[in-house]
Chains A and B, each alone.
Chain A
């Protein structure tokens, strides 16, 4: 895409004035103008993606990356150098190793170990590709969350989802290409799904916000202000008067597009709330996602909604786990809070994976699970003996993928024996981005956008595709 340089300027001009619904570029053909629907660079392994974002940074050594050495040397001093930048620790503070309080067991045919925090996800382990060698560069929530979502912790850049919708568009004109459910308003906020200098149509559409019950959340202004028949009558008048106005300047495609958008918006008013209404799902499905349990209700709803959205052609759905104060940032109280967090997401995620699989969607849907960083293998001592926790660790942490053409039932990469640094098959966040784009059929080096005289891309000048995780 965008290889025809001569047209760069005029194409960008068209994008500035993109006359499009939610659908992305594909719909621009309604204009009869020369904007080709964007297409993939190579055969995609995944057509869509669900990102299960665990806000705050779950601990790798307590979930998917067991470290016997920690148990063995519990309480001893970490014998290796720590990174140059530490988030909270100063000097000799927080250097004692902390054994994981949770037992690991091997599951499935693959025998991949999972800690007792995730008994449900453990039953899906043969579908997972566990990547234990993620690393980033920013030890603070804001910078790391932005880095994960946009590739930059310090500059305003388009989000990964915006790049994907810019690259792929939506499969459904009535729905946005990129939806983010209950996004966090902190740590980069809208920038995490914003389009920066990409045209505004590629910005993620938020449903609700973190900390607010998602089943009550709605897309802005989707509730009709009048009855369907009244509104229909009103829109008909507007259409008629707009047509007369348009006849004065029949070549103006903006005016024409706006007339079409009116109809699109009217249809969306019914299609979107319908999608959000999960009552039409079977009792069995609702229970599987944990909608009947207070602990799992909210995240279960998010996961179910994610499935319903991708089923209808949304390209990327992000689900954020940050209900109220219970996100994964356990500087203290690891023992109580990590299990609480895990309980809220474990069953819904397992249900989602099984549901996707059963519907035949998992093959070409990439599921990604993880936080903005992991946690230190050393203890962050607080005054209270109970309040032990772990500090931020961007230097080695775990994410997992499922479906979408990745090697099911596999483990990729490794951290050192303490679980502090990624040492084997290291995957920087830029590499993660390159790999995700590749799975979706996009070449991270060719997915570019010219702004201020430069061609930008999600991975900046970095990014290696980790072909080792491909099925």
Chain B
């Protein structure tokens, strides 16, 4: 088990030799991903090219080299549907489509992008991408399955981070070391607003560290020491995969054979997380592993909490002044509520008060203060880490904690860092780690992130494997472009929205996806982007779109949809009944993510396994997807609502109603051929319905038609 990662080495090295993929260890440091980012001048391209953005030049240069001509821009119907799904995960409304078609002034496209980036739905859609990467879930789900009822605070944090365009370097810092980032010092003149802002930042940053706590956990691992190391392994692996696209976890048991990561590097990083407190408890009273993760209080009402803090401070100061110099026995008695004092304590106080009237007055005042002590407002809970006991780990030979080697001081991987200073004895080193990830010397973090963003827009990254930039990474199609974007991203203040604009305003993004046999012959996989890549809707988009076109989607933001109590199991222990429901109209991003038991619709449409970092979703075509579209109550219900919408408007011709339906669902009008088929269907279907009034039979036909339109490939795909 512990030496699991050795498997591929044996396989790759001996049983299935893959020489081309296995560089000699000496060369490992030469791999492109470990080289500094170099911003080269734009390449020279043929003068005929349609270029709108610097990135088009890089794309065009590769097309020129192969003698390929890209397909022309997609039409406006296609583009508005593409970019709306892309940025918000929702279909454009008929009004939005018409507005875009009507906007003939220059800059119409840019205005659409700005509108979409400013919509709260943008954060909901793009947070979900990030949640895939950080293996977000609402339960521990490894050996047993307890609800993480507070995980949603981290999810809401991510939504806000995208909507607020939080600089990505700050986003990295907060998730890894939010609790350690220095807060602004309040000046003498600070007012309530300043205090609220400070508390907001403090709360937000602490919630961000939920990133480190959300992983899968074997909470009943009898060997508690192993449980702890497995949790640390999840943290090292997630940081490595998510930010560096490196499989650091390989080095838990042996030096990484493909990338320059040694076991010392691994345990040096693991020491940072060993020095971090993630768990409230690991062992139970019997000494068996039986863990619970860490949660702390967080303010729910910032204003009330800030006021309370101010009052509490004043109050505490007054109390301190009054109690200064009181004899310990008196102080002890005074601190106990009157009704709880023993006779002896009462006597102590009486004696003290009678000895001196001034002292008596002090006691009276103390008594009054006790009663007026400001009441702390209700608090919420959040999954967070804090610094724990600071230690360095020993290398564990072949990954076994029963077989320990030499101590390794906490530090960063040697091959990636020139920094040799050791981390202080007083803190875990998470803050240094976070800052190193986004430092100028680290070429990976910005490359990895711009590649992710590129892939989420274009369906495939410039590096095909977004979570692995190591020597075994997939092909890198446009190395200069990747570096140019990484540099541009850093120079632009790590602004994600700026990066979106850069990519979306290109000619490359606006291409049509027309099939060209000649180009397909040269580049069947469309690696060079001669056309736009069609994609199937992702799981959340399927659900959200169904509800959106039915007009029933609830756009409310944030919060938890779990009705479980802290640490509850997600299934009823007696009956096995699942205690999580998805029977609501909220967006997909708010649906609980239960490890081991992902929501059926999501599972069916390739929701990634939420226990592993997964920067690239699959898109399969399997029969259960069709069965769901044919028979699920969700789809039937949405079809009925859609039909109702289309038919309830008075005085509209049949063909207008069909237009309405097509525009809502597919973002276009039916052509003549389709219109004929649809009208014929309505008649034929109604005539075969055996019961009901004419009107009911007609409605049944509309319901069936609406469902048919929802089942079309065109609804499930974005061109």
Q: A188-B142, A457-B7 are in contact. Are A225 and B630 (CB under 8 A)?
A: yes
Give the CA-CA distance A184 to B171 in the complex, in Å: 39
Kindly state whether residue B386 has any CB partner on chain A within 8 Å.
no
Within 8 A of B (CB), among A69-119: 85-88, 90
Within 8 A of B (CB), among A246-273: 246, 248-252, 254-255, 257-259, 261-262, 264-266, 268-269
Q: Which one of A123-131, A192-200, A274-282 contacts B? A: A192-200
Whether the pair A3, B16 counts as a contact (CB closer than 8 A) is: yes
Within 8 A of A (CB), among B590-637: 596-598, 600, 603-604, 606, 609, 611-612, 616, 618-628, 630-632, 636
Whether the pair A186, B576 counts as a contact (CB closer than 8 A) is: yes
Kindly state whether residue A386 has any CB partner on chain B within 8 Å.
no
Whether the pair A152, B4 counts as a contact (CB closer than 8 A) is: yes
Kindly state whether residue B545 has any CB partner on chain A within 8 Å.
no
Residue of A nearest to B144 (CB): A142
Give the CA-CA distance A86 to B577 in the complex, in Å: 30
Give the CA-CA distance A190 to B216 in the complex, in Å: 14
- Please give, as numbers and ranges, the residues of chain A lying within 8 Å of B704 by CB-CB distance: 226, 230, 233-234
- Please give, as numbers and ranges, the residues of chain B lying within 8 Å of A35 by CB-CB distance: none
- Please give, as numbers and ranges, the residues of chain A lying within 8 Å of B250 by CB-CB distance: 454
Give the CA-CA distance A145 to B220 in the complex, in Å: 12
- Please give, as numbers and ranges, the residues of chain A lying within 8 Å of B241 by CB-CB distance: 452
Whether the pair B674, A241 counts as a contact (CB closer than 8 A) is: yes
- Please give, as numbers and ranges, the residues of chain A lying within 8 Å of B688 by CB-CB distance: 229-230, 233
- Please give, as numbers and ranges, the residues of chain B lying within 8 Å of A225 by CB-CB distance: 630-632, 636
Give the CA-CA distance A46 to B385 in the complex, in Å: 51
Give the CA-CA distance A460 to B471 in the complex, in Å: 21
Q: A257-B621, A264-B623, A453-B473 are in contact. Are A152 and B286 (CB under 8 A)?
A: no
Q: A255-B713, A257-B621 are in contact. Are A452 and B631 (CB under 8 A)?
A: no
Within 8 A of A (CB), among B670-719: 673-674, 677-678, 681, 684-685, 688, 704-705, 707-708, 711-714, 716-717
- Please give, as numbers and ranges, the residues of chain B lying within 8 Å of A188 by CB-CB distance: 142-143, 596
- Please give, as numbers and ranges, the residues of chain A lying within 8 Å of B230 by CB-CB distance: 154
Whether the pair B620, A19 counts as a contact (CB closer than 8 A) is: yes
Q: A140-B221, A142-B143, A222-B627 are in contact. Are A259 and B677 (CB under 8 A)?
A: no
Q: A19-B620, A457-B7 are in contact. Are A252 and B630 (CB under 8 A)?
A: no
Residues of A in contact with B, size category: 35 or more
Within 8 A of A (CB), among B509-524: 513-515, 517, 520
Shortest C-beta distance, A177 to chain B (Å), equals 12
- Please give, as numbers and ranges, the residues of chain B lying within 8 Å of A241 by CB-CB distance: 674, 677, 708, 712, 714
**Size of interface on B: residues with Cβ below 8 Å to A:** 103
Give the CA-CA distance A3 to B16 in the complex, in Å: 7
Give the CA-CA distance A299 to B576 in the complex, in Å: 17
Contact with B along A418-455 (1 / 0, CB 8 A): 00000000000000000000000000011010001111
Whether the pair B713, A22 counts as a contact (CB closer than 8 A) is: no
Whether the pair A187, B713 counts as a contact (CB closer than 8 A) is: no
Q: Which one of A209-217, A305-313, A346-354, A398-406 contacts B? A: A209-217
- Please give, as numbers and ranges, the residues of chain A lying within 8 Å of B115 by CB-CB distance: none
- Please give, as numbers and ranges, the residues of chain B lying within 8 Å of A230 by CB-CB distance: 685, 688, 704
Give the CA-CA distance A210 to B572 in the complex, in Å: 12
Contact with B along A174-205 (1 / 0, CB 8 A): 00000000001111111100101101110101
Residue of B nearest to A190 (CB): B596
Kindly state whether residue B525 has any CB partner on chain A within 8 Å.
yes
Kindly state whether residue B361 has any CB partner on chain A within 8 Å.
no
Give the CA-CA distance A385 to B7 in the complex, in Å: 49
Whether the pair B513, A249 counts as a contact (CB closer than 8 A) is: yes
Whether the pair B620, A200 counts as a contact (CB closer than 8 A) is: yes
Q: A140-B143, A190-B596 are in contact. Are A211 and B713 (CB under 8 A)?
A: no
Our pick among B20, B578, B609 for the contact of A196 (Cβ within 8 Å) is B609
Give the CA-CA distance A18 to B4 in the complex, in Å: 28
Whether the pair A262, B626 counts as a contact (CB closer than 8 A) is: yes
Our pick among A137, A194, A226, A245 for the contact of B712 (Cβ within 8 Å) is A245
- Please give, as numbers and ranges, the residues of chain B lying within 8 Å of A235 by CB-CB distance: 630
Shortest C-beta distance, A393 to chain B (Å), equals 13
Whether the pair A197, B622 counts as a contact (CB closer than 8 A) is: no
Kindly state whether residue A240 has any CB partner on chain B within 8 Å.
yes
- Please give, as numbers and ranges, the residues of chain B lying within 8 Å of A250 by CB-CB distance: 515
Kindly state whether residue A471 has any CB partner on chain B within 8 Å.
no
- Please give, as numbers and ranges, the residues of chain B lying within 8 Å of A141 by CB-CB distance: 143, 220
Kindly state whether residue B114 has any CB partner on chain A within 8 Å.
no
Whether the pair A220, B7 counts as a contact (CB closer than 8 A) is: no
Kindly state whether residue B544 has any CB partner on chain A within 8 Å.
no
Shortest C-beta distance, B180 to chain A (Å), equals 29
Give the CA-CA distance A251 to B525 in the complex, in Å: 11
Contact with B along A277-302 (1 / 0, CB 8 A): 00000000000000000000000000
- Please give, as numbers and ranges, the residues of chain A lying within 8 Å of B471 by CB-CB distance: 453
Kindly state whether residue B340 has any CB partner on chain A within 8 Å.
no
Give the CA-CA distance A142 to B571 in the complex, in Å: 14
Residue of A nearest to B575 (CB): A211
Kindly state whether residue A16 has any CB partner on chain B within 8 Å.
yes
Kindly state whether residue A467 has any CB partner on chain B within 8 Å.
no
Q: A140-B220, A185-B576, A212-B576 are in contact. Are A221 and B627 (CB under 8 A)?
A: yes
Whether the pair A209, B4 counts as a contact (CB closer than 8 A) is: no
Whether the pair A242, B632 counts as a contact (CB closer than 8 A) is: no
- Please give, as numbers and ranges, the residues of chain A lying within 8 Å of B525 by CB-CB distance: 10, 13
Give the CA-CA distance A266 to B623 in the complex, in Å: 9
Residue of B nearest to A22 (CB): B623
Give the CA-CA distance A191 to B144 in the complex, in Å: 11
Residues of chain B whose beta carbon lies under 8 Å from any beta carbon of chain A: 1, 3-8, 10-12, 15-16, 18, 20-21, 141-145, 216, 218, 220-223, 226, 230, 241, 247, 250, 258, 286-288, 464-465, 467-468, 470-475, 513-515, 517, 520, 525, 534, 536, 571, 574-578, 596-598, 600, 603-604, 606, 609, 611-612, 616, 618-628, 630-632, 636, 673-674, 677-678, 681, 684-685, 688, 704-705, 707-708, 711-714, 716-717
7 A-B pairs (CB sep. < 8 Å):
A19-B620, A203-B603, A212-B576, A237-B705, A248-B515, A455-B12, A460-B7
Residues of chain A whose beta carbon lies under 8 Å from any beta carbon of chain B: 2-3, 5, 8-10, 13, 16-22, 85-88, 90, 137-143, 145-147, 152-156, 184-191, 194, 196-197, 199-201, 203, 205, 209-212, 220-226, 229-231, 233-235, 237-238, 240-242, 244-246, 248-252, 254-255, 257-259, 261-262, 264-266, 268-269, 324-325, 445-446, 448, 452-457, 460-461
Per CB-CB distance, the 4 closest pairs between chain A and chain B, nearest first, are A142-B143, A453-B472, A189-B596, A265-B626
